[in-house]
Structures are given as C-alpha cells and as structure tokens.
Chain A
Amino acid sequence: MNRIHQKLQADNKILSIYFTAGYPSLNDTVKIIQDLEKNGVDMIEIGLPFSDPLADGPTIQASSTQALKNGMTTSLLFQQLKDIRESVSIPLILMGYFNPVLQYGVEDFCRKCQEIGIDGLILPDLPLDVYQENYEAIFNKYGLVNVFLITPQTSDDRIDQIDAASDGFIYMVSSASVTGSQDGFGNNQETYFQRIADMKLKNPQVVGFGISNSETFQQATKQAKGAIIGSAFIKFLTQNGVDKIGDFVKGIRK
C-alpha cells in the first residue's frame, strides 16, 4: 500500500495542489513542495513541463513554457527531488505528457520514480488500452499508481473499465474543458458529481479542473474524496512568488 492509498483511506476533503516544476524559478521545486506540506496540503502533483500541453489552458501552458525556458528537464527534476523524502511525507505524483516519459524510457522513468519515492503518475495522453498492453506491468513493478481521467462525457461503461483498471484514485475532470477555463460550478457539474457518486466506484474520486477557491473546493468535495487545484495556484505563484504559499492554502481551507 503506498502513500496515496493511505492518505485516501484516512482523510476526506483531500486538498491536492498541482504546480509546474521549474516555475516560477528553476530551483523552486523543493521549496514549493515543502511549503505546501507544511501548510496542510494533502497531496501534490508535480508537473513535468511539456512543449505542447494539449489539455492545458493558457495559465499552465505559460508556466510550462517558462519552466522549459528556465532550463527544466526530466533529469534535472529527478535530481532536484532526489532527497525529497527526507523532508516530505505526503503523496507525490508526477503529472505530465507521455512523450518526455517515452524519450526518457518508460522503465527507467518508473525506476527513478521509485528511487525518489514518487507514488503515482498522471499522463493524460497515455490511453487506457496502451497502458494496459504495454506499461501496466512496469508501473506495478515499481509500485506506481497510474491515475486515469474521466469527464462528464465519459460513458458509464468506460468509467467501469477505468475503475477496474485503476488502483489509487480516479481523476474526475469537472467539465468539458482544458485546465483553468471556468469559474464556479453549475447544475451540470452537480448532476455529474451525483451521477458518479451513485456509481459507487471502487476507487475514490478526486475532482480537478475549475477549482480555484474555497467555494469550488467545498462543492467539489461534497461527494468526491478530494480536489486538485492547478491553474489558480500557478496564478498565485505568478503574482506572489513562492514566499506566501501558506496564504493560498489558508484561502482554500477557510
């Protein structure tokens, strides 16, 4: 059982934060992770920046572009995280696009994750069938949880399939959108959240996309186990730098 399972069993209203590694400055990675944990964040998605992030809106795109300009690479990120488990104990997930992982070598990448103490991966453009056919055994070998996405358009059958293939949590995309595209949830989301709750899936769900403040966090975690905030946190870092991370977390938890 890895840290993700323990955390999701123990707590409700899990607050998970996404940030792009190498942003705002190249060497902010460790400080951001430590400060998030210190301020009570439950889980962290560390974004491996990519040149062509298809599922991301302007905020995360811009942070990725800047991180790459700053010099972030896969090897450098692993280097930065090498001693992270000496100071951080919450679940850490790497999130990125599949091509950089493929170029690093999927098995090498997974082995490195295990060495560091990474608990899981979210690779939105690695599809379920390709994962199962080619990579599931490797992920398992290195104790990594692979997290799949579902959206309001995902059929019940497909959700069942994804639930069966998952062993950690399901990333529930709140609406048909790229990251950071909307403010607040309406009836459509309520219906969708209810529909998924009624399916009684074996995996807990964590809601992402469109969560930007305490109100949307509360809405999202009424039914789901937790919620992920990405773009809103990146915007906060852009405006405030890395010294006031506690203020951001308090604003969500209030």
Chain B
Amino acid sequence: MNYNVDEKGYYGEFGGAFIPEMLYPNVENLRQQYLIIMAEPSFKKEFDQLLKDYVGRPSPLYFAKRLSEKYNTKVYLKREDLNHTGAHKVNNTIGQILMAKRLGKTRIIAETGAGQHGVATATVCALMGMECIVYMGEIDIARQAPNVARMKMLGAEVRPALSGSRTLKDATNEAIRDWINNPVDTHYIIGSAIGPHPYPDMVTRFQSIISEEIKWQLKEKEGKENPDFVVACIGGGSNAAGTFYHFLHEKEVGIIAVEAAGKGVDSGESAATSVLGKMGIIHGCKTLLMQTIDGQITEPYSISAGLDYPGVGPMHAHLFKTGRAEFIAVTDDEAMQAGMVLSKLEGIIPAIESSHAFAILETRKFKPEDVVVINLSGRGDKDLDTYIKYFKL
C-alpha cells in the first residue's frame, strides 16, 4: 500500500485538484515546479539554514518522565512548541516563502484558524520583506486576540472573514477568492495539509522535518528509529502529516490521529471528521468532510480554533479509510483536562490543539514498554484566555 501522493495528485481515492479555471494557471505552475524547486541545492541550503538558525531546529525530543509514570508507558514529546512563533506552522511557511520567491511572487496571502499559521506567515513575510494579507474568521479574531496583535506587529494585514461560520473554513474561502482576484503577483501559503494538489503533498514535505528528526533523536535515546506509536492532533492535518510522514511505511509504528469531538461526537457541535464526515469536495480537494445529505458543508465546532475545520487533509482521509491510522475523537473537556495535566506534571502549557493529542493517554492503553511519541505541536500562550475562562483561573 502506498500512503504517499501518486502522480495524479491522489492518495487512493482522495485528493486531486478541484479548482475553478481561474486558479488553474497558478496551481498548475506550482504543481510543475514544486518538486524541482525543493530539490535545488540552493533551496535546500537556504531552507535548512533558516530552520536551524531562525526557527531553532532541531526541536528537542523530550522524555516526559512524570507523564510516563502517570500513564505507565514511555512518553516522548516532540517539542514543536519551542519553535520560533510557538508552533510547527513555521516549518511550512519558511518552505513556502522560499518557494514563492523562486516563483517570482511578491504578495503573500494566507488563511488562519487559531492564528498560528497567520503568525508564522506574517513572520516569514517580515523576514523576506513581502506584503502579507491574512484572512481570519471573525469569531477566531475575537478568541485569538494575541495572535491578531502579533500579526499586526509583524506588518501583516488581518482581514476578517465574515461569511458562513466565520472560522477557518470561511477564512480559507476568502483567501481563495483573493487568489482568484490576484492571480499574477500572489502566492497563497496554505497552512494545512489540504487544498488542491500539490498543496497537501508540499505542506507535508515541509512538515516532514518533524518525523525526520524524531527518527534520529529516538535512535540516540532508545537505540531505535521507530517508536511503537506516533500521536498527533488533527484538524486539517499539517502537524499530523509531518509527524507521521517518515513512519507511514514503517509497519511496526502505530499511527494515532486525534480529532476534536467538541462537545461530543453526537452533540451536533463537533469537528470529528472521520466519524461525521463523508467523501466530498472542500477547498479544492476530494476528502472526508462534514456535510449535509445535500452536499452543503456544515459548520464544525471545537474549543480549539486550530481544529475547528470540517474536513481533513486527503492523506489523512486515506490513512483512515485504509485503516493505517487509528482515529480517536477527544472532547473539549478531555482536552482541557489533559492540558492541565501536562502543565502540572511537566511544566509545559500546551496549545489546546495539542492538548487533544495528550488526552488519549487517559483512555488509550499502552504497554509499559511502548515508546509513544506525541507531537506537541504548539505552546499554550495564545490560549491562556480560554484556559482562564475554562478553569476560572
């Protein structure tokens, strides 16, 4: 079984490029160029250098002793929260800004949910002196105020998405419309492993540094490259894609994707796409998505803005469909409690997105000798307000 993208841009039956003709020249140009550009020695050199000196990679693989004792298994944390800008998102924006430069683009647009991708995009635009416009749902602007301020400080313009549920899905629609309106000078930096081919594959490749590092770091610590399990939270699925990538074809590695169940999978307020979704087309790709019987995309819910998305990337849809990955849905409450546990036991306040990944330790039993690597995709600073309200701190 192949879990990577095929020549036509599909993962099994998922993927493709379902885009209006207005986007075709840009997406087609990117499709033809992205692998060639990524293979250029000068590109690789610049990318690696920036990841090292600017982002602060490699991010540590940390053995969480107290967490391991509590759950009676060996838990390692991949510390993407320690990256510059506080999350894994910057791995991809560094790659895409270098890509945009080589494609001759001068103006950058992006969508953002929690604001982490928006901040990471604004950051690299500041670094490269490029114009940056970030689309963000009006509701997310309200619940992620610190990240909005960060983007503004970094010189980006934050434009509210006022349509639909006014969250990540609608911000993505607005970014796509902007790209239709500005086809010549603009590159769209998609932040998740979604969108028309080649985006899911390109984003996955830029994020794959996460699993690449886990391999050699684990070798140093455990004497073997492959853990028994890799775990990541999943909205659109960029941190999960990067965490899983180099283990997709390693049969002995169990892959666990943790979705946001919101107030419960059956509550009507959820973002658990693998349970609630059906094959359909969203934002240019064929994948699992939450929709009505009539094919209207429904409005998801999660306490975490970064997981509040009605679809999953096509690679993940394929991993789910083939049974290669185990999908677990975690409620708001379970995630918030897990965030508190990690804070108290390890002195690390996680982003609420990442808290979802940790919540499975309560319910999913591992053996004492299992090595479980959890991707700590982001830090919790941006979520303090939500934590304060939830725990009445």
A104 to B295 CA separation, bound complex (whole angstroms): 8
Q: Which of A18-76 contact B (CB under 8 A)?
A: 50-57, 61, 65, 68, 73-75
Q: Mark B293-324, 1 if CB is under 8 A from A, else 0.
A: 11111100000000000000000000000000
Complex interface: chain B residues within 8 A of A104 (CB) = 294-295
Is A1 located at the chain interface by the 8 A CB criterion? no
The answer to whether A176 and B180 touch across the interface, beta carbons within 8 angstroms, is: yes
**Residue count of chain B within 8 Å CB distance of chain A:** 34
The answer to whether A52 and B177 touch across the interface, beta carbons within 8 angstroms, is: no
Interface residue SS majority, chain A: loop
A61 to B170 CA separation, bound complex (whole angstroms): 12
Q: A130-B16, A176-B184 are in contact. Are A103 and B294 (CB under 8 A)?
A: yes
A158 to B25 CA separation, bound complex (whole angstroms): 9
Is B281 located at the chain interface by the 8 A CB criterion? yes
Is B163 located at the chain interface by the 8 A CB criterion? yes
Chain B's nearest CB lies how many Å from the CB of A210? 12
The answer to whether B21 and A150 touch across the interface, beta carbons within 8 angstroms, is: yes
Q: A178-B180, A181-B181 are in contact. Are A74 and B295 (CB under 8 A)?
A: yes
Among B22, B281, B282, chain A packs the most CB atoms within 10 A around the CB of B22
The answer to whether A51 and B297 touch across the interface, beta carbons within 8 angstroms, is: yes
**Residue count of chain A within 8 Å CB distance of chain B:** 41
Is A239 located at the chain interface by the 8 A CB criterion? no
Is B54 located at the chain interface by the 8 A CB criterion? no
A55 to B22 CA separation, bound complex (whole angstroms): 8
Is A148 located at the chain interface by the 8 A CB criterion? yes
Complex interface: chain B residues within 8 A of A130 (CB) = 16, 18
The answer to whether A99 and B297 touch across the interface, beta carbons within 8 angstroms, is: yes
Is A177 located at the chain interface by the 8 A CB criterion? yes
Complex interface: chain B residues within 8 A of A73 (CB) = 294
The answer to whether A65 and B163 touch across the interface, beta carbons within 8 angstroms, is: yes
Q: A125-B18, A149-B20, A154-B25 are in contact. Are A103 and B295 (CB under 8 A)?
A: yes
A122 to B183 CA separation, bound complex (whole angstroms): 22
Complex interface: chain B residues within 8 A of A127 (CB) = 16-19, 21, 24
Partner of A151, one of B18, B21, B284: B21
Complex interface: chain A residues within 8 A of B181 (CB) = 176-178, 181
Complex interface: chain A residues within 8 A of B17 (CB) = 127
Among A53, A177, A181, chain B packs the most CB atoms within 10 A around the CB of A177
A51 to B164 CA separation, bound complex (whole angstroms): 8
Complex interface: chain A residues within 8 A of B20 (CB) = 54-55, 124-125, 149
Chain A's nearest CB lies how many Å from the CB of B68? 43
Partner of A61, one of B16, B163, B182: B163
Is A100 located at the chain interface by the 8 A CB criterion? yes
Chain B's nearest CB lies how many Å from the CB of A97? 8
Partner of A125, one of B19, B25, B169, B293: B19
Q: Mark A90-119, 1 if CB is under 8 A from B, else 0.
A: 000000011111111000000000000000
Is B160 located at the chain interface by the 8 A CB criterion? no
20 further A-B contacts with Cβ under 8 Å, apart from A65-B164, A176-B180, are A50-B295, A52-B164, A52-B173, A52-B283, A55-B177, A75-B294, A97-B281, A99-B280, A99-B291, A102-B280, A103-B291, A127-B17, A127-B21, A151-B22, A153-B25, A155-B25, A176-B181, A176-B183, A176-B184, A177-B181
Q: Give B contacts to A, CB under 8 Å.
A: 16-22, 24-25, 163-164, 169-170, 173, 176-177, 180-184, 278, 280-284, 291, 293-298
Q: Give A contacts to B, CB under 8 Å.
A: 50-57, 61, 65, 68, 73-75, 97-104, 124-127, 130, 148-151, 153-155, 158, 162, 173, 176-178, 181
Nearest first, the 9 A-B pairs at minimum CB distance are: A103-B295, A100-B295, A124-B20, A149-B21, A51-B296, A99-B295, A99-B281, A55-B20, A153-B25
